[in-house]
Amino acid sequence: MYTTQMDAAKKGIFTKEMEIVAKDENIGREELLEKIASGKIVIPCNKNHKKIYPRAIGEGTKTKVNVNLGVSEDSCDYMGEMVKVEKAIEYGADAIMDLSTFGDTKKFRKELVEKSTVMLGTVPMYDAVAKLGKNIKDMTVDDLFKVVEEHCEDGIDFLTIHAGLNRTCIDRLRNSKRLTKIVSRGGSILFQWMVLNDKENPFYEHYDRLLEICEKYDVTLSLGDGLRPGSIHDSTDGPQIQELLILGELTKRAWEKNVQVMIEGPGHVPMHEIVSNMQLEKKLCHGAPFYVLGPLVTDIAPGYDHITAAIGGAIAASAGADFLCYVTPAEHLRLPTLDDMKEGIMASRIAGHAADLAKGLKGAADWDNKMSKCRGELDWEGMFSLCIDPEKAREYRKSSMPIEEKVCTMCGDLCPMKRCNEMI
């Protein structure tokens, strides 16, 4: 038998999850086994998440998109967040992260696992604050690990743990000239705990304990970037790279225990540094799948950060990033609404698909070619059926109907498709 997908791959066992992934990703059996065994592909699939439809993240697979949601003390509507869950899946999200920091987090998490067919992630450090009701300083190491195990037992498929944010990294941070210090919420909580208690990061110091829990449930470890840059000024600086070096070391230790690993990355990165950031992660973290927030290519666009992130995400994914964490127009401003969420999902899905085309991923262009054929034939229903957002496309066309039904109001009778079709 086997303990995790990685363990199975090392033993040459082709699991039912791998069978689904191989078909969906058009990857051969031996190639998939090799890439999972070497850590280049992960299948986040907790043994207790019964309704999940397995998806792969990593080299040679389609770029995946994650949606963050959850409640805060200032905006605590669990029913509204559950509607977002249902809509996120409908809109094509591959994963959902519950980032709740207030209220009955366990009840919401359990309902998520019961209903969701997509991968689920959490940040246990958030829940520790919400659940324990203690001052951050008073949390014990056992408190933190108890929360981690509860999330695994509940059926969460991947956990963001900032295990690389150790004392060496903090020294780097203190000696840096960062404008935005720590922008990772989980990283800042952990940083505060370490400073107030004058202790090492418990997830770094007791890393083997963390790996034992993840192996038990086959939970993928998403090694968080507590020192990701929160501004383009801070991009690719000493603290960020120092933490990445530690994450590379922790990745190898996880693989030795057959624990699947993803690496989380920036953040805010100017366009000319994105490719080098992807290369650094793949080199320093031994080809582990890279999960990026954006990256956002400028700091000046609150209200439009789904666009700044889509630009960065497309470049990042074309250069090696495997998993895009969506960014909404509400980034930096408020908890996203349902409409914000949709805008973020569509922007990230477009970025991911554009990157798959640039990478020459097998079959990626089929979707575009089908759309182009329908467009050339002025087959509106065919175009709508292929749209990434059919609802919006239909609304736009319906809002301005032409005199001649086949064309649109942009060109009308001068439509080049119509004229070419009449002549050829």
pLDDT of residue 130 exceeding 90: no
Mean pLDDT (whole number) for 410-423: 89
Q: Is 414 one of the annotated binding-site residues?
A: no
State how far the Cα of 275 lies from the Cα of 61, in Å rounded to an integer.
19
Considering the domain architecture, whether residues 43 and 109 belong to the same structural domain is answered as: yes
Considering the domain architecture, whether residues 299 and 405 belong to the same structural domain is answered as: no
Q: Is 49 one of the annotated binding-site residues?
A: no
Q: Is 291 one of the annotated binding-site residues?
A: yes
Q: Grade residue 42 by pLDDT with cuts at 50, 70 and 90.
A: very high
Mean pLDDT (whole number) for 285-308: 98
Q: Is 151 one of the annotated binding-site residues?
A: no
Q: Is 226 one of the annotated binding-site residues?
A: yes
Q: Name the domain boundary from 359, 378, 410.
A: 359
Q: Is 109 one of the annotated binding-site residues?
A: no
Residue at 107: amino acid letter: K
Q: What is the pLDDT of residue 73?
A: 75
Q: Is 97 one of the annotated binding-site residues?
A: yes
- pLDDT one-digit tens code per residue, 144-177: 999 999 999 999 999 999 999 999 999 999 999 9
User: 411: which residues sit within 8 A by CB, 6+ positions away?
Assistant: none
Considering the domain architecture, whether residues 330 and 395 belong to the same structural domain is answered as: no
Q: What is the pLDDT of residue 278?
A: 98
Considering the domain architecture, whether residues 302 and 281 belong to the same structural domain is answered as: yes
Q: What is the CA radius of gyration of the chain?
A: 22
Considering the domain architecture, whether residues 368 and 390 belong to the same structural domain is answered as: yes
Q: Count how many domains the chain has.
A: 2
Considering the domain architecture, whether residues 386 and 248 belong to the same structural domain is answered as: no
Q: Is 332 one of the annotated binding-site residues?
A: yes
- pLDDT one-digit tens code per residue, 226-254: 999 999 999 999 999 999 999 999 999 99
pLDDT of residue 338 exceeding 90: yes
Residue 386: give the domain boundaries: 364-423
Considering the domain architecture, whether residues 388 and 313 belong to the same structural domain is answered as: no
Q: Is 45 one of the annotated binding-site residues?
A: no
Q: What is the pLDDT of residue 77?
A: 85
Q: Is 286 one of the annotated binding-site residues?
A: no
Considering the domain architecture, whether residues 338 and 401 belong to the same structural domain is answered as: no
Q: What is the pLDDT of residue 203?
A: 98
Considering the domain architecture, whether residues 45 and 58 belong to the same structural domain is answered as: yes
What DSSP string describes 285-302?
TTT--EEEE--BS-SS-T
Peptide bond into 295 cis (omega under 30): yes
Q: Is 381 one of the annotated binding-site residues?
A: no
H helix intervals, 319-415? 338-359, 364-376, 380-386, 390-398
Query: Average model confidence (pLDDT) for the chain?
Result: 96
Q: Name the domain boundary from 359, 393, 408.
A: 359
Q: Is 185 one of the annotated binding-site residues?
A: yes
User: 180: which residues sit within 8 A by CB, 6+ positions away?
Assistant: 229, 230, 231, 233, 234, 268
pTM of full prediction above 0.85: yes
* Relative orientation angle of helices 238-256 and 167-174, to the nearest 10 degrees: 170
Q: Is 76 one of the annotated binding-site residues?
A: no
pLDDT of residue 358 exceeding 90: yes
By mean pLDDT, which of 25-39, 103-117, 209-223 is the weakest? 103-117
Q: Name the domain boundary from 341, 359, 377.
A: 359
Considering the domain architecture, whether residues 279 and 416 belong to the same structural domain is answered as: no
Q: Is 169 one of the annotated binding-site residues?
A: no
Considering the domain architecture, whether residues 354 and 373 belong to the same structural domain is answered as: no
Considering the domain architecture, whether residues 60 and 182 belong to the same structural domain is answered as: yes
